[in-house]
A and B are shown apart, each in its own frame.
Chain A
């Protein structure tokens, strides 16, 4: 199994170890593929579709698609960028994302992707859905208005924390994050140090009483686009 897999990414030859996903192999080579549900150390989920690439012309989620010899992967073409941009815009209109008063603003991965793609307004009409807020936990807030159903908390709670605090409930457009206690998050054994709390890419799961601690201008994505850390690894030529 020492053999390396060789494939093409945007016309560039990339070598990766067998079993890696396209997203992982690209990242090892210093190429950033935008993603929301994928998170290092969590099982891939393949649900947000932001990491979509064309594999031999077919759209695939690069976080779950393993690399294979000779595949031709398209990631930074105008067509793929437009697909991803559409997905990000849909995530904005589907929830209630009031960035101007969200504690996660500046550190939010959804917002950071919109910045990276230069989105100034979504092309779709806003839905303003009715979503529930769960403030029953003394140290953790669950605001479903900002949830993008990426499932990071579900996987982290199940596989890392070993608690199964979060789970999906409902179907289709009615799908929501649920907690495993009738009395809300406060009645579960969720703790503020859980990985499930740490991994939320948006402001849906927040630690209470630490909001706005980092001033504007010093937050994660104020100056550097999301993915810059990965692209930085490629060397001085990276954007």
Chain B
């Protein structure tokens, strides 16, 4: 039988949730027996060329590239899981939602006390993805099937969740596995 494929990505996140996945320690060998990793920073596969059973999304959407990748994941994955507080509520990047975008960029590139920017320009190269006016949780952009909260979600939460999905069961987390910090 073909192994189910898992894809993962980090949008506006810090890769902490991916680190938490690695924190399942030796169980990662069991996981590698059970699944095949497709598009993911773990194996550096860049593009989808096969459909995946599960997509794990770390981080929310702060730019147009994040939205594009998230929609691509929705198209290519049967079950999409928001992993971590950034994917679920925007997290630390969403703190900029309390300040207008223009003011944010001016502070970062022009007015901040430690800024050194002789050109006095805010980066606007076409290669740089355009920022959204605010950071969005993933479920406000595409439909998300499950949410695993935490900053990052504990390794056991990820292990339990993946275990349930691989057995074809819904994810049901116990009290100790739902944490927002």
Partners in one complex: yes
Are A98 and B82 in contact, with the CB atoms below 8 A? no
Are A121 and B181 in contact, with the CB atoms below 8 A? no
Are B134 and A128 in contact, with the CB atoms below 8 A? yes
By secondary structure, the B interface counts as: mixed
Contact pattern, B 95-109, Cβ under 8 Å of A = 1, otherwise 0 = 101100000000000
A24 to B158, CA, bound (A): 40
Are B146 and A99 in contact, with the CB atoms below 8 A? no
The answer, among A106, A121, A130, for a CB contact under 8 Å with B88, is A121
By secondary structure, the A interface counts as: loop
The answer, yes or no, to whether A105 is at the interface (CB within 8 Å) is yes
Among A2-10, A46-54, A110-118, A161-169, the one that faces the other chain is: A110-118
Are B139 and A120 in contact, with the CB atoms below 8 A? no
The answer, yes or no, to whether B55 is at the interface (CB within 8 Å) is no
Contact pattern, A 191-234, Cβ under 8 Å of B = 1, otherwise 0 = 00000000000000000000000001000001101000000000
Q: Kindly count the residue-residue contacts between A and B in the assembled complex, taking CB atoms under 8 Å apart.
A: 70
Are B180 and A99 in contact, with the CB atoms below 8 A? yes
Are B173 and A100 in contact, with the CB atoms below 8 A? no
Are B175 and A100 in contact, with the CB atoms below 8 A? no
B contact residues around A131 at 8 Å (CB): 98
User: How many residues on A have C-beta within 8 angstroms of the other chain's C-beta atoms?
Assistant: 28
What is the interface residue range for chain B against chain A? 20 to 34
A96-B98, A100-B85, A126-B140 given; A120·B146 CB < 8 A: yes
Are B134 and A98 in contact, with the CB atoms below 8 A? no
Are B147 and A111 in contact, with the CB atoms below 8 A? no
Kindly report which residue of chain A lies nearest to residue B153, judged by CB atoms: A120
A102 to B151, CA, bound (A): 12
The answer, yes or no, to whether A101 is at the interface (CB within 8 Å) is yes
Give B137 Cβ to nearest chain A Cβ, in Å.
6
In the complex, besides A99-B85, A126-B90, 20 extra interface pairs with C-beta distance below 8 angstroms are: A98-B91, A99-B181, A100-B91, A102-B181, A106-B181, A114-B180, A115-B175, A115-B179, A120-B148, A121-B139, A121-B144, A121-B147, A126-B89, A126-B94, A126-B140, A128-B97, A128-B98, A130-B98, A145-B98, A222-B176
Enumerate the 3 nearest inter-chain pairs by beta-carbon distance, A residue then B residue, closest first: A100-B151, A99-B180, A120-B147
